Amino acid sequence: MVLLTPDLEKTYSNSEATTFEPAHTPARIGVAVERTMSIRSIRDNLSPAAARIPVEFTKAISIIVDTREDARGVSTRPGSEISEKKSKEAMKDIAALDWHTISTSTLFQHLSVSPSAGLDAPQAARRLSTYGSNNISPPPRNMLKKVLEWLFGGFGTLLLGASLLCFIAWKPLGSPPLASNLALAVVLLIVLLLQTIFNAWQDFSISRIMSSIQNLLPSNVTVIRNSAQVNIVSEQLVPGDVVVVAMGMKIPADLRMIECTGDCMFDRSILTGESEPVPATVDKTDDNFLETKNIALQGTHCTSGSGKGVVVQTGDLTVFGRIATLSSQTSGHLTTLQREIFRLVLFIASIAALVAILIVILWAAWLRRAFPNFINVPNLLTDVVSVVVGFLPTGLPIALTISMAKVAGTLSKHKVLCKSLSIVETLGAVNVLCSDKTGTLTQNCMHVENVAVYDLELDLTELRDRLMSGGKAAEAPSDQSDLSTKLSESETARENLAQLGAVAGICNAAAFAAEQNEKPLEVREIIGDATDSAILRFAESIAPVEASLTAWQEVHKVNFNSKTKYMLKLSKLSSAYVAADPRPAPIASWDDFSPNDYLLTVKGAPEVLFPRCSYVLAPGGGEPFRLSPDILERIVSLQDSWAAQGRRVLVLARKVIREEEISKHAKMGSQTFAELVNDLTEDLVIVGLVGLVDPLREDIVDTVRVCRGAGIRFFVVTGDHPATAVAISAQAGIVSDVSKIHHFSDLDPKLPVESIPPYVPVAEDDDDPRPMKGIVVTGSDMTKFTGSQLDQLCTYDEIVFARTTPEQKLFIVRAFQTRDCIVAMTGDGVNDSASLRVADCGIAMGSGSDVAREAADMVLLDSFGSIVVALEYGRLVYDNLKKTCLYLLPAGSFSELMPILVNIFLGVPQMLSNLQMILICVATDIAPALSLCMEQPESGLLRRRPRNVKTDHLVDWRLLLHAYGFLGVLESLCAMSMSFWYLQRQGVPFSELVFQFGNWPTLTTEDLYRAQSVYFFTLVIMQWGNLLSTRCRKFSIFQHTPAKNWYLVPAMICALVVAIFFSYIPFFQNAFLTRGIPAEHYFIPVAFGAALLFLDETRKYFVRRNPRGVAWLAW
């Protein structure tokens, strides 16, 4: 540590001073890190997110490959090696840290900071200038590795191997060496070079796109500066800053905890792999900096509770920073799109390999013996190379990259941030969407609509009127026993009603931002979650909250979380306040309260707190009523009534705890003290109920309608009351008919599993949509599920899961995944993080917690409605890639294979040269294929059912039938006919070529080269018709006009220009053996292309008229 004074703040450099040396405190250099955990073991336990960088760096995007830990057990942890020297240095540096061993007073002295006032602005500015921003330096790029990836990525290895074979066919096997073989080898190398350049360009360009949008997700932190809480960007943190830690927060720097609630816990799994959260303490629990619980390490998460910590290390000097600089990323599991691409390439490569093997076998077993002068070894090698290279859709990787780049730009404009671009396609395949309610369906802008004391229901205006009409407080009596007689009846009623505001203000984790007192209450900024903010605003409207907080000194606090579903605060009367008012609100005249007693205030879910309550406040004044079953039934009835209107209902309760009930041996802040307070949380007095309203997002109804029209089941998974959840779901359109909704009791536990029909999705385009079935189940119901009941549940169209825990949310996701569903989960809270990780596509809201945004694959920065854009583009990417494959296969593989097969089996000349095959694959087909990536969505794209990832593949038998049996056959026959017709006109009839196997005396090489060029140009021009027909799957060209894609015509012209370029320039004519063609051979293929388009339009017409009857015609 370094002693910092206002006048002098010593510098610690990134290279030499890796620790602060405290004045008068020896550094604990000898602490044995390896005693429990070495730096290497921590590095090995880093999750991929950790390896990528903490806080603001975790918003950095990985392109296409998802590097998070796969929720289904596929480990993607980095396995990079750390040099022994660097590892030892890191161990020594961390072992020398001793911030955890010194007292808090010494900590404040060394960092020149006040825990209540924080740093002042000049201090913070100086330290920021001295220490730099709180960033972790990105690891250096391994350029050699990058270049190798660019060179051999995609089909690079295959191209290099094919080029080497061609060189071998030229020399030494060539006798004499043929220039065409050399030209083919050189062309393949040029293609490899161009692919490398393109890979480098797309890597750079997409990285630039990602860099431009990653700042859309700022990482803010609340600190105390100038005696006020302020929000700053985490990059501006400096040593000495006092950070306010809240549940769901990602720790932005290494903090020494100076204050924490009893339930404050940190998830360190990102660093240590520990599955259970670690409780926080103020005092050290271990000499090891990595093991002690009074240090909150950067990159970890606060999973419950709250507290304050002082920044002791920032940037590269944090433990996270030291480890991250020694780590590197590795690839993760394959997404659905990557699996489809891999499956396609494997399928095509297998066919190409089988054909190549077949050619070699036929040559070796038949042709070499029967016709020894027909095909020699060099020609055999070039034929094999042509088959293999020609068969592969070389343009597909480029098309995929262009599609992803387009998606990145479009989604960033709609404020959709993807950590992995290919996850968008996964979203396009989603058929189950599980959504949290608060902050996702609703605006997360709550306000208190109603309150109730016992069965007295009031709106806020009525409550304020009753409090005002109570008159002035009665004069304090001299005798405490006489108190009740000295107060008017209205005053006793007033003091009971006033307890609502007092308890709401005291038992609250939110706070008004600094310098907000002069603003109207409705617009004052509040730091805290939506629920606490709404209740705080309500409390302030009743009475100044500051007065209550000044009167009561916090002793112990348990923040609200999704498991306990309540917040608790234990307070003691401030010593300065005892003389001023020994009975501040919510203490009432009937309370037997002494200044040394404690006040326990609680706020939470009614069904959780009601069992702990024994009394209820009397709205008319006086002592509380005993909570009898009849009274409780009336309160629960009111709660259910509010919940059915979509309100969130919370109960406020309190209790006076006598001084003698708090054991002197229980140290405040200890686990024993927390357990004691928990045991005392009984016999509470119900102060009242508050009903909160959280309006639906403006676009949620349309969003739900579109999702359901797309065949996606839209479920609500929430911790709220079932009636509230169903009411909100009905308002959003998720539940069609509340009166017909089923419950857990409607699921037959004895129904045989085999008799349960599989779920059939319903989309807007379906001819006979069936009635929707809806059900609501609670978390307690889920604990009773049998296998049969779970199977029955999964067949419902509309499901509302209420009062769920984080573990149950996880169970829901996995239950549908095991039934072959692609599940998307949306959420914004800590309780959503586990299910966000497990879901096929985790979607967090930009306003949500750091934990949720870290766990998600996608973040919606603005409107929830932007998920519709992501859904559409997910399906569009898949559709356009399917069209690209269909365009590339007929000419790029089938029509290139036919000349070789006809040459081998029928003995005629090869009507398409090997070089021309390569030109089609890597030149003429590329621009039109890329133009298909720019296609706009077809009408009705979001009215179809989502694809079944198990059966609906990028290339299936229908697409192959269309590509080979329809397009490929037509193009091959037309091109072959044109070539032989040209030779017929040159005096070389077909009868003199067939079955001659190289004995073609009337055929000159010039005629052969020109006939091959005729075949080549016929394919290039007929591909125009293929392009115009393939761009629409079902719709006519008149319904989805070419005007929607202005890239089409330039791409068609580009393909022809490329063909002319290589066929008319003398250099290429000599090197590639290409030739120009007669004029008529330009126009006749145009007619062929038009005919092909007409035939496909006829096919689409019948598909639209009778989609089920001719389903085999639809690809």
Helix axes 1005-1030, 866-889, angle to 10 degrees: 160
For 828, phi and psi rounded to 5 degrees? Answer: -140, 0
State the pLDDT confidence band at 89, using cuts at 50, 70 and 90: low
Q: What's the pLDDT tens digit per position in 40-59?
A: 333 334 333 333 333 333 33
Say yes or no to pLDDT of 432 above 70: yes
> Which of 202-216, 534-548, 738-752, 1049-1063 shows the lowest mean pLDDT across its residues?
202-216
Tell me the mean pLDDT in the region 1057-1064.
Answer: 96
Alpha carbon 150 to its chain centroid, in Å, reads 27
How far apart, in whole angstroms, are the C-alpha atoms of residue 955 and residue 347?
9
Residue bearing the bigger pLDDT, 888 or 652: 652
Specify the residue for token string 């879901």. 839
Q: Which of 774, 759, 753 is nearest to 821 (CA)?
A: 759
Tell me the mean pLDDT in the region 959-981.
Answer: 94
Q: What is the pLDDT of residue 592?
A: 87
> Which of 80-89, 438-447, 958-967 shows the lowest mean pLDDT across its residues?
80-89
Cis peptide before 946 (omega within 30 of 0): no
Portion of the chain with pLDDT greater than 70, in percent: 85
What letter represents residue 561's amino acid? N
> Which of 898-907, 980-989, 1007-1016 shows the lowest mean pLDDT across its residues?
898-907
Residue bearing the bigger pLDDT, 735 or 950: 735
Specify the residue for token string 């029967």. 370
Q: Which of 323, 326, 312 is nearest to 253 (CA)?
A: 312
Say yes or no to pLDDT of 422 above 90: no
Q: What is the pLDDT of residue 768?
A: 61
> Which of 224-238, 245-259, 332-346 shows the lowest mean pLDDT across its residues?
332-346
Q: What is the pLDDT of residue 214?
A: 53
Residue 53 three-state SS = coil
DSSP per residue over 510-529, as a string?
-EEPTT-TTS-GGG--EES-
Tell me the mean pLDDT in the region 1053-1069.
Answer: 95
Tell me the mean pLDDT in the region 551-576.
Answer: 87
Pairing of strands 220-225, 228-233: antiparallel
Catalytic center residues:
436
Q: What is the pLDDT of residue 204?
A: 76
Contacts 24+ apart (CB under 8 A), 519-528: 527/222, 527/229, 527/231, 527/244, 528/246
Say yes or no to pLDDT of 684 above 90: yes
Residue 252 to residues 136, 245, 639, 708, 1018, Cα–Cα distance (Å):
11, 10, 41, 40, 63
Portion of the chain with pLDDT greater than 90, in percent: 41
Say yes or no to pLDDT of 1079 above 90: yes
Do 822 and 336 contact (CB within 8 A), yes or no? yes
State the pLDDT confidence band at 478, using cuts at 50, 70 and 90: very low
Residue bearing the bigger pLDDT, 1045 or 663: 1045
How far apart, in whole angstroms, are the C-alpha atoms of residue 110 and residue 1?
8
CB atoms within 10 A of CB 679: 9
Burial of 30 (0-12, 13-18, 19+ CB in 10 A): exposed
Tell me the mean pLDDT in the region 832-845.
Answer: 88
For the chain, the C-alpha Rg in angstroms (whole number) is 37
Say yes or no to pLDDT of 330 above 60: no
Q: What's the pLDDT tens digit per position in 163-195?
A: 898 899 888 887 778 888 888 888 888 888 888
How far apart, in whole angstroms, are the C-alpha atoms of residue 666 and residue 819?
51
Do 205 and 220 contact (CB within 8 A), yes or no? no
How far apart, in whole angstroms, are the C-alpha atoms of residue 825 and residue 823?
6
How far apart, in whole angstroms, are the C-alpha atoms of residue 917 and residue 908?
18
Say yes or no to pLDDT of 602 above 50: yes
Q: What's the pLDDT tens digit per position in 250-285?
A: 899 999 999 988 778 888 876 665 557 888 999 888
How far apart, in whole angstroms, are the C-alpha atoms of residue 920 and residue 390?
8
> Which of 84-93, 174-183, 443-452 shows the lowest mean pLDDT across its residues?
84-93
Do 914 and 385 contact (CB within 8 A), yes or no? yes
Q: What is the pLDDT of residue 861?
A: 85
Q: Which of 1006, 1005, 1018 is nearest to 899 (CA)?
A: 1018
Do 774 and 813 contact (CB within 8 A), yes or no? no
